[in-house]
Amino acid sequence: MHRSAYEQMELCIREYLPAEGPASGTYRVVDLGSRISGKQTRTHRALLAGHPIDYFGVDVQDGPNVDAVMKKPYRIPARSNSADVVLSGQAFEHIPFFWASMLEIARVLKPGGHAFITAPSRGHVHDAQDCWRYYPDGFRALAAHSRLELREAYTDFPPRKGIWHDYRAIDKKAAYWGTRWGCSASRRAIPG
């Protein structure tokens, strides 16, 4: 994942995940889309160093940082109401039916658990399958659809210059990549 997405996830963790851990002693963390590829070195697992965690990385493809391959692309291999935290960084733009993945996140979260999601709000097409870009209202709608309470949504838009920023007007030095993140909390137990 690129640096800005990593930094946004770091902010989510710092704000919503106390380092001393939950009453149970260990955070159960599920990382949806955990595989790293190519020359990537940044992982959510590394961001959680210093936190008492039981980390479980899942992805539709096997590879580095994957603990379990998802046999069905919209079914997280974890019990309902089992995770304190679900992370997903820079995966949602690659998921054709992202609303199905969001329902799975809601299913896996414990009541009171948190989902931290980063996804691009703009940028060039990348990788073999690149379907979506996200704005805060999009994640508000996703949280409502999944019956989660949206705690915070943010997009790091470039400064306004009195004009609309279409893709031709934004170059690589002017923050072409925009990372959008959201934090949602599970309100209740969801039947599995």
For residue 52, the SS3 value is: coil
**Do the domain assignments include residue 128?**
yes
Could you tell me the pLDDT band of residue 187, with boundaries at 50, 70 and 90? low
Of the candidates 66, 61, 115, which has an alpha carbon nearest to the alpha carbon of residue 89?
115
Instruction: Report the domain count for the chain.
Output: 1
Per the DSSP assignment, residues forming a β-bridge with 152 are: 183
pLDDT of residue 63: 94
State percent of the chain over pLDDT 70: 78
- Say which residue, 46 or 177, is predicted with more confidence: 46
The verdict on residue 191 lying in a domain is no
Q: What is the pLDDT of residue 107?
A: 95
Evaluate whether residue 142 is within a structural domain.
yes
Output the pLDDT for position 67.
Answer: 97
Q: Quick: pLDDT tens for 109-127.
A: 999 899 888 887 776 766 7
For residue range 13-54, list pLDDT tens digits in order.
Answer: 888 888 888 888 899 999 998 999 888 888 889 999 989 999
Q: What is the mean pLDDT of residues 53-59?
A: 96
> What stretches of 33-185 show up as alpha helix (H) in DSSP?
44-47, 98-108, 136-145
**What is the domain range of residue 47?**
3-186
Rounded to 5 degrees, φ, ψ at 100 are: -70, -40
- Do the domain assignments include residue 192? no
Rounded (to 5) percent helix, strand, coil in the chain: 25, 30, 45
> In DSSP terms, which residues pair with 122 in a beta bridge?
178
Residue 177 and residue 122 in contact, taking contact as beta carbons nearer than 8 Å: yes
How crowded is the C-beta side of 17, counted as CA atoms within 13 Å?
Answer: 28
Q: What is the pTM of this model?
A: 0.81
Position 189 pLDDT exceeds 70: no
- Is 100 inside a domain boundary? yes
The number of angstroms, rounded, from the C-alpha of 19 to the middle of its chain's C-alpha atoms is 19
For residue 99 the two structure tokens come to: 């609303």
Whether 34 is in a domain gets the answer yes
| CATH number, domain containing residue 116 | 3.40.50.150
- The CB-side HSE value for 66 (13 A sphere, CA atoms) comes to 17
